[in-house]
Every structure is written in C-alpha cells, then in structure tokens.
A and B are shown apart, each in its own frame.
Chain A
Amino acid sequence: MNWDTMPGAPRGAHGREVLSCAEMDRALTRIAHEIVERTKGADDVVLLGIPTRGTHLAQRLALRLTEITGRDDSGLLGTLDVTMYRDDLRHSAARTPAPTRVPDGGIDGRTVVLVDDVLYSGRTIRAALDALNDLGRPAAVRLAVLVDRGHRELPIRADFVGKNLPTSTGESVLVRLTETDGEDGVSITGTAETTDMAGERA
C-alpha cells in the first residue's frame, strides 16, 4: 500500500495525469493476460490484494482472469493486510489493521500473485512476504503492481507492471480508483528534482 495515496491526500488538483481511465483498464487487461501466460492457464493462481487499493485492483484482475480462462472464481481472490508486519510500526502513528481474507482452499502449493497499486520502496511487499509466511507455503509468489515508480530500498522486483513511472522522491503518485475515489486515473504531484528511471535501481 502506498501511503501517499491514502484518503486525505489532496485529490482535488490531480497534478500531471499519467494514466487515464482507459489506459488503466488496458493495463489491467494486459496484466491479466500476462498472468495467464506465465502461469500456464492460471489454474492454481490466488490473487491477494494488499488493502486498500490493491484489494480493488485484485478484484478487477480476478474478473478478467475468469473471463480469459473460463475458470470459476472459487479460491481465486483474497486480501492480505500487512500492517502488523511493517518495519516502521514503532515510529509511525498506530494504524488500524484491515482484515486478511484467505480464499477457501488456502494458499499452500498455489501460485500467489500479490497485487498492490504502487511499488515504491518495496517495504510493503517485504511485509507482505512475511505475512504470507504465517498463512501457508505457496508454490510461488509473484507481484503485480499498477505503477512502479522506482526508488527501491530492498531487492524486490515486480513480475507484472501496469506502467513504469520515472519519478523523483519529492513527487507523490496518486492512484484513484472508482471504488475508493469515484473515478479511475493516476497522476503525479510535487516537484521533480532528481528523476530516477523506474526499475533501474531494482
């Protein structure tokens, strides 16, 4: 979860629009096809969305996967809250954890695809990998993100990326989803001092 994109962040002035509603839609469809291709049919895939926006993105991906493969959606979708596994709990204000829902059938031996909106430092995904460890033993864990904005602080890389977005650390990436914000779109606000190509440092 990217905390820059939490409710309360200024969303009135969207800044520079980098992903429109239609582009987001196409990116998710492409990710869904890539998941099917790389998991050879997505039969054993479990999508785990990281709250809040990752959960909604995972729902959209689940819908597309069932349309593409024709598999039913049982055991396909869940959510994974990482709050209690974060490495900055002692320094940040107390956060209310969101529910974790593992689909029926669990994750043992399945291919888990973690879904989040923005990949930045990689610390959320590190926490998610720890959280997964307590839930079971997947055959493989993959990562799908809508936006990769670079500046990784851990050796973590996304397998499926909607858009690679060069940003500076002074900028904020705002992901808006119909479910939480009333519309779809991604924009950048803030000052671009030193631009870093997304993924370069990963």
Chain B
Amino acid sequence: MRHLLDTVHLGREDALRILDVAETMSEVSGREVKKLPALRGRTVVNLFFEDSTRTRISFEAAAKRLSADVINFSAKGSSVSKGESLKDTAQTLQAIGADAVVIRHPASGAAQRLARTDWIDAAVVNAGDGTHAHPTQALLDALTLRRELAVRNGVDPTGRGLDGAHVVIVGDVVHSRVARSDVWLLHRLGARVTLVAPPTLLPVGVDTWPCEVTYDLDAALASDPDAVMMLRVQAERMHGSFFPSTAEYTRTWGLTAARVDALGPDTVIMHPGPMNRGLEISSAAADSPRSRVLDQVANGVAVRMAALYLVLSPDTPTPASGGHRG
C-alpha cells in the first residue's frame, strides 16, 4: 500500500489488512511502554491546512507510538499564510526528508494531488480533504463496529468483515467526507448502510452510492440497526440555508433523548466528533452507555498506526532483504 487516499479505491482485502494490523496495534495502548520500534528513524509530517484537534493528535500519537519522528505543520503561522503554494510546501518537505505526509486540506483532491505529482516521494495519508474523503475515520468506525459485533457474538474480530451489519448514518451528508468514506468502506466490508438526511443535505448523485437513502429518521431507527452514526452539522461549510432552524433540525433529524430511549437493545451510537451537543446529538445520547464515541477516538490511534506502518512498508521485498531467516 503506497498511499491511503480514499475508501472508494480501497479493496476489501486491503481494508481487512488495515483493521487486522490495527487490532494488534491497539494492544500497545494498554501497555506500560506504549511504543514499538517499527518506524524508528522515519519522519512523518502532519501537514494540516485546516483546523483539527483529534485527527492531528491521533496521527501524532500513532506516529510516536511507532517511534517515528513527527513534524507538525499547520497552515496558521506558516509560510502558507504568506501565499506559499502546496507545491512549494511539498517540495520543502521533500528537501527535509519526509517519509510520510499526513495531509488535511480544505480542497477536495488535495491528497491525490500530492500523491500523484513528482513534487514529493513520500507516502501520502489523507487526513480529510474538503468534502471528499477521510479514510482513517471510516476505518476507525469500521474497527469500532467490528469489535462491537465480535463481542456481541463472542468471536475473534480478526479477519472478519461487517457482513450482515446494518448502519444508519444521519445528518449533514452533503458536507461530510466522513459519510462518503464510511458508505464505501462499510459497503465493501459487507454492511448495509442507510443514509438519513433532509433533502437539502444530500449531495447530487447520492442515488448512485451503494446505500439506501431516506428522509425519515424514526423509520430508519425502527428497523433496529446495529449502529447509528450521527454526523456533525458543518456550519462552517454552510454558505446558504439548508434547513429552516436548528430547533427544527434537532426535532426532525437530531438524536434526542426520546429517540435514544426508543432504540433497540443492541444499537450503539457513534459520532466522528467534534459533537454539536443539543443540535445533531443530545447529551443524553452522547453520554449514554450506548455511546462508542470514546472507543472511536481510542481506535483512531490504532488505525492510524496501522495505516502509517503499512504505507511505510514496502509492498514487495527489496533486494537488500537477503531472504527471511529465523
């Protein structure tokens, strides 16, 4: 795996590989010495052109637990605010000797641009680009869900997909790179996905996605899904009127206390964060025992460790390996 850019082009085999590696990586977080030497001497640059707390610290923790050197770069206070282009920034990182670049950018396709040019040789991991993709978020959602199902069925999650699972994704789909990445990944892993949103928050062409679409949240929840995933209402990307008022949004598409009470016994609640409490998710939902929000955060570190390890490992043996010997 050379880069991790989206989930549309991520095959089931590769996805399961990342999840299985992540499963063993998560053991490290429970140890006294939370460190593996796998990426010792490699340099990972966190290139963040957009505000982020959890994704950046999650990637930073992941790289550090694999003993990589981490350089954090945020656009604020950098030469980007003086007008430096992505190309010049990338070439600077190349000259510094970055082995992997984790990029968050407001423009859809920025990660692809970086991966396909000759500006930089480093492996590229997409940490969210515009409204396009956020593959590590989708992978951590899949890891969380897979573990949930494995515990429920009393089996080992390793090597399994999400076959037969039903996931309801609710909210601001049109602005959500998380929803896009989740739909394709969960579908590829065998889960049935239902999107629930007001028509104004559904993108053009959603009918071609491998999922069902409905406007009715209560009907979707009544089908007893394995997980309900709430999306953040992304006010900062809304330059028009997408719904009449926040109160009406909450009433129709928010996960209110009443809707939590009506959920089936096994349905878990997920949210990619940061949460708008009182808008798309009530505190009753966010703090309920069904909430897996903090598991998602913990699993995020494991998934990102797996992603960094796999993009920084050769796909095929290089001549210098001299064979495998015990």
Interface set of A (CB-CB < 8 Å, partner B): 1-4, 81, 84-85, 88-100, 116-121, 123-124, 130, 134-136, 153
- The verdict on B309 contacting chain A, using a C-beta distance below 8 Å, is yes
State how many residues of chain B have any CB contact under 8 Å with chain A. 32
Contact across chains for B27 and A92 when beta carbons are under 8 A apart:
no
Chain B residues engaging chain A, CB cutoff 8 angstroms: 1, 17, 20-21, 23-25, 27, 31-33, 35-38, 66, 158, 309-310, 313-318, 320-326
Chain A, interface SS category: loop
Additional A-B contacts beyond A116-B326, A134-B31, A134-B36 (10; CB < 8 A): A84-B66, A84-B309, A88-B321, A91-B318, A91-B321, A92-B324, A94-B315, A96-B24, A123-B325, A135-B31
Q: What chain B residues lie within 8 Å of A134 (beta carbons)?
A: 31, 33, 35-36
Q: Which residues of B contact A91 (CB under 8 A)?
A: 314, 317-318, 320-322
Q: Is the pair B326, A85 in contact by a Cβ cutoff of 8 Å?
A: no
Q: Find chain A residues with CB under 8 A from B320 CB.
A: 91
Residues of chain B with a CB closer than 8 A to A123's CB: 325-326
Contacts A93-B313, A94-B310 hold; do A100 and B24 have CB atoms under 8 A apart?
Answer: yes
Closest to B318 in A: A91
B38 touches A89 (CB 8 A): yes
Tell me, in angstroms, the Cα distance from A121 to B314 when the chains sit together: 23
* Contact present for A121 and B31 (CB under 8 Å): no
The 8 closest A-B pairs by CB, nearest first: A3-B324, A94-B313, A2-B326, A91-B321, A134-B33, A84-B36, A84-B38, A121-B325
Q: Provide the bound-state CA to CA distance between A99 and B38, in Å.
A: 15
Is the beta-carbon distance between B313 and A119 smaller than 8 angstroms? no
A130 to B38 Cα, complex, angstroms: 12
Would you call A97 and B24 a contact (CB within 8 A)? yes
Cross-chain contact B326 with A124 (CB below 8 angstroms): yes
> Which B residues touch A94, using CB under 8 A?
1, 309-310, 313-315
Inter-chain contact A120/B326, CB cutoff 8 Å: yes
A118: nearest chain-B partner, CB-CB: B326
Q: List 13 A-B contacts (CB under 8 A).
A: A84-B38, A84-B66, A85-B36, A89-B313, A93-B317, A94-B310, A94-B315, A96-B17, A96-B24, A99-B158, A100-B24, A118-B326, A119-B326
B314 & A2 in contact (Cβ 8 Å cutoff): no
Instruction: Find chain A residues with CB under 8 A from B314 CB.
Output: 90-94
Name the distance in Å between B107's Cβ and chain A's nearest Cβ: 30
Chain B residues contacting A118 (CB-CB under 8 Å) are: 326
Q: How far, in whole Å, are A2 and B325 apart by their CA atoms in the complex?
A: 6
Looking at A3, A85, A90, A98, the one whose CB has the most chain B CB atoms below 10 A away is: A90
CA distance A171 to B285 in the complex (A): 62
Which residue of chain B lies nearest to A122 when distances are taken between CB atoms in the complex?
B326
Chain B residue contacts of A89, Cβ below 8 A: 38, 313
CB pair B315 A84 closer than 8 Å:
no
> How far, in whole Å, are A92 and B321 apart by their CA atoms in the complex?
6
B326 lies within 8 A of A3 (CB): yes
A2, closest chain B residue (CB): B326
Chain A residues closer than 8 Å to B321, beta-carbon distance: 88, 91-92
| A-side contacts of B17, CB under 8 Å | 96
Q: How far is the CB of A4 from chain B (nearest CB, A)?
A: 7
Q: Which residues does chain A contribute within 8 Å of B322, judged by CB atoms?
A: 88, 91
